[in-house]
Amino acid sequence: MVTPQVVDVKTMENKYAIESNNLSIHYGSYTAVKNVNVKIQPQKITAIIGPSGCGKSTLLRSLNRMNDFVQGCHVTGELFLQGQNLYGNEIDPVEVRRKIGMVFQKPNPFPKSIYENIAWGARINGFKGKMDELVEQSLRSAALWDEVKDKLQESAYALSGGQQQRLCIARTIAIQPEIILMDEPASALDPISTLRIEELMQELKKNYTIIIVTHNMQQAARASDFTAMMMIDENRAGGVIEFDETKKIFTRPSDKRTEDYVTGRFG
């Protein structure tokens, strides 16, 4: 891997939350995602869209090295956070996942109390402050405190699906990440819960950079500031064919394939 120069570090630190340079993801000899070059703006919501099988979730999980757990998966190219190549030999993947948290498609609370769902993750990540305050602050940030403040010792499984997803968001916030990744966070939820997640995202972007994968074009158009459009090539490798402000992607896309997808002509 090429070590970034000092001048590049300053530029990336000041301007972008995360930046990829020819990032490609491989499973053995098969290239699943090829040559992604994106510059993610801080404290904005970036949506990743595209037809099924184009590598959206694979790309998202590469951003915090979740794909390290997949046998045979390896990455080429570079991914920078604060001027550091996250795939550099000196980088600790566990620390990467602390800085870049993940909220999955299906709510996955721990089989513990609501309180311990927040406290446990913070505790194993070395939190030494006042746990009660952290739990309350995290639940407030996830717009859940008023609904659960009187039942913190009850099982997280007693919550509704939408509440469980907000609990998972609160759990992610508790370890104080810089970036939050969301993989179809509302696809398993009812419309009211989906709207609450979208409203929550607008509040969270005041303090966090959010990157979301979604199949819902209306959601991408409503909730995101920037959009990356992915497509597969003739070799079945996914790639970003267009990246721009969401308004432009949905009203004046530069690529005909993007226009066809967001207008429902295919996909």
Q: How confident is the model at residue 10 (pLDDT cuts 50, 70, 90)?
A: very low
Q: How confident is the model at residue 267 (pLDDT cuts 50, 70, 90)?
A: low
Cα dihedral 29, 88, 240, 166 sign: positive
Q: How confident is the model at residue 266 (pLDDT cuts 50, 70, 90)?
A: confident
| Mean pLDDT rounded to a whole number for the chain | 92
Minimum mean pLDDT among 8-22, 119-133, 214-228, 233-247: which range? 8-22
pLDDT reported for residue 118: 96
CA atoms in the 13 A half-sphere facing the CB of 217: 17
Helix H segments across the chain? 6-15, 56-62, 93-99, 114-124, 131-141, 145-148, 161-174, 191-204, 217-223, 246-251, 256-262
pLDDT of residue 114 exceeding 80, the answer is: yes
Q: How confident is the model at residue 146 (pLDDT cuts 50, 70, 90)?
A: very high
Cα dihedral 94, 100, 104, 109 sign: positive
pLDDT of residue 58 exceeding 50, the answer is: yes
CA distance 123 to 188: 29
pLDDT digits (tens, 9 = 90+) for 79-104: 999 889 999 999 999 999 999 999 99
pLDDT reported for residue 219: 95
Q: How confident is the model at residue 78 (pLDDT cuts 50, 70, 90)?
A: very high
Among 56, 54, 46, CA closest to 18: 46
Q: How confident is the model at residue 14 (pLDDT cuts 50, 70, 90)?
A: low
Minimum mean pLDDT among 1-15, 38-52, 161-175, 202-216: which range? 1-15
What's the average model confidence in pLDDT over 183-204?
Answer: 94
What's the average model confidence in pLDDT over 15-37?
Answer: 96
pLDDT of residue 6 exceeding 80, the answer is: no
Amino acid at 61: R
What's the average model confidence in pLDDT over 154-167?
Answer: 97
DSSP state of 91: -
